[in-house]
Chains A and B, each alone.
Chain A
Amino acid sequence: MSCQLAADNVLYANGLYRLVYDLVGTILPCWLSYVIAGLVMIFVLVNAVLLGAAVITWAERRLLGRFQNRVGPNRWGPFGLFQPLADLLKLLTKEDLTPDGADKPVFALVPILMVAPLVMMTAVIPFAENTSLAALNVGVLYILAVSSITSIAIFMAGWSSNNRYAMFGAARSVAVLISYEVPVVLSLLGVVMVAASMSLGSIVEAQVLPFFLVQPLAFFVFMAGMSAELNRSPFDVAEAESEIIAGYHTEYSGVKFALIQAAEFGGVGVVSAIAATLFLGGWSGPWSEYLGWLWFLIKTGAIVFLFIWFRATYPRLRIDQIMAVSWKFLLPLSLVNLAAVTLEVFLLRGPEGVLTTGDLGIMAVINVVVTVVAIWVFGNLIRDRVKFQARQPSDVVVPGVTTIEVH
């Protein structure tokens, strides 16, 4: 009973899937090897996300320490590398509390619902040439759709916790998520337009010049928007410790909290992978047919570092400032980017609608100038225009001193 993956199968290009399928197919029926190969791929992806979350937790704490002239966790394992493991063990041994007035099924569903979209998003990311689980031709659309599930999960967490602070955090988070979806989508539109495809594999292949050079404005808007969507500093009002305890996950403890934390840091990893794919050229690089995974990891790591760097640098914004940044700053910027890219693609593309490397170079030069000018113009437009009046000495009233008015 031999079973080989057909060459016209959509998953034929995926080397690992084909390997497992063919291996299992020698002894088992086709439908079973199909299921087993799928399960193996899912296992790999889930572990990639969770291990990535662990490594990013460690990297974030170490790097934040160094940014603040501290050392960071360095006790457990080489360079403190086993610290996430220790954290996990601690959280697993904690009591798993559910509040008395909580909506229990919804409350228990939230951690799963927060991790699931992340794992789903990794399905379409090409880790190396032809190595995505599903080479969807609407990959970008799929990512945007799936990533929106997180906002529902956050709102479920806030609603089911029966806690005011959780509700505040959830309301803030949903407001932020909905506002920042718009500029992010508009910035990705430019990428899709230049690549002339929504498939992530095609977008990587289209990046003979990385898109963060071709569209720096889109990259800027994407990074800012994704910082907000991940509830990361400077847009982390949803879990602002100094204001609303822990926001939507105030009531979570034990395993559920561990999963939410894993989703938070795994989200950074997944979004960094997406950003690396869309803007930094993904697996493309020298010897990409062998070292594609290495280039992908290096680029993802660079974006993760950028996120941690932002977190170490910028203080938290107020909720109204966050809304202002989204609607008055990032939205115009993404519209400017969209208009510029549309015009450039319209004017530069060849008779078959193909952009050459030279065309991309011209776009890069124009768009760098557009980026600097647009950030300067819109930055100055939304700047706080309140002028503080200097107090006159006569305005100062000293208590206990009678003022004698001379007429």
Chain B
Amino acid sequence: MYGFAMVKGLLVTLKNLTRKPFTIQYPEERARQHPRFRGEEFVWYEERCTGCASCAKYCPLGIIKIVTSPSESAIPQGDKYRLEVFDIELQRCMFCGLCVEACPYDALFMGSGFEQGQYSRKNMVITIDQLRNAEKHPSTWFRPQLEGYEGEPSSGRGSRSIAQGDSRFTYDPRGGPPLGWREVGREGWRWHQREKAGMRLDTESAEQAGAGDE
């Protein structure tokens, strides 16, 4: 039916006209990110870092530069080094995440931001001060303790539940305030406590964790 198919086509487009636009108005609205999204930045917790430079060793491109000196204040608590330089040359980074996988103390996380555009490549090097002062919105990539993942009880500290949205992932990296170093570790994660008997970073947190266990 020649003429009637034309009317049918018009009705199809009219139905689309009445639909809500699919567009998300980016600077004002944001799409909800996947919690494991690897952003163009890194989140680093100095309190957790021992300066072991595993990240620098495992980086396939060798773009992480670490200079340490023995820390005088931390020596009584173990082999803790003080970091002097921690440069990540982001312009050559391929965001493979091997540095994050290599970090034994959950000090380095993939970030979740993506607005790191610069006019010069020189500005793409993240220095230790930028890492210190950055708002810490870690990605859950290789850090499952941050996810309130179904089946696995979360630490309760590292995860924040979101009322609406994807029921599988309750963690929204950009959704809440920045996370402190106490909230991101594996030691609060019950699976980790059971299997690995936890980590004791310093006496204070060890006591807290011990009190929680009992």
Contacts and interface: CB of A to CB of B under 8 A. Distances in A.
B165 interface: no
Given A313-B10, A379-B2, A70 B16 contact: no
Nearest to A310: B10
B13 A375 contact: no
Given A65-B21, A66-B21, A313 B13 contact: yes
B3 A375 contact: yes
B13 A70 contact: no
B25 interface: yes
A98 interface: no
A71 B16 contact: no
B22 interface: yes
A68 interface: yes
A31 interface: no
B211 interface: no
B30 interface: no
A308 to B, nearest CB: 10
Contacts, number: 47
Given A379-B1, A379-B2, A314 B16 contact: no
A309 interface: yes
Contacts of A66: 16-17, 21
Contacts of A387: none
B197 interface: no
Contacts of B6: 314
B1 to A, nearest CB: 7
B3 A379 contact: yes
Interface in A348-382: 372, 375-376, 378-380, 382
B9 A314 contact: yes
Contacts of B2: 375-376, 378-380, 382-383
Given A375-B2, A376-B2, 17 more contacts: A63-B17, A65-B21, A66-B17, A69-B21, A70-B23, A71-B21, A71-B23, A309-B14, A312-B13, A313-B9, A313-B13, A314-B9, A372-B3, A376-B3, A379-B1, A380-B2, A383-B2
25 contacts: A66-B16, A66-B21, A67-B13, A68-B16, A69-B20, A69-B22, A70-B21, A71-B23, A71-B25, A309-B10, A309-B14, A310-B10, A312-B13, A312-B17, A313-B9, A313-B12, A313-B13, A314-B6, A375-B2, A375-B3, A376-B1, A376-B4, A379-B2, A379-B3, A383-B2
Interface of B: 1-4, 6, 9-10, 12-14, 16-17, 19-23, 25
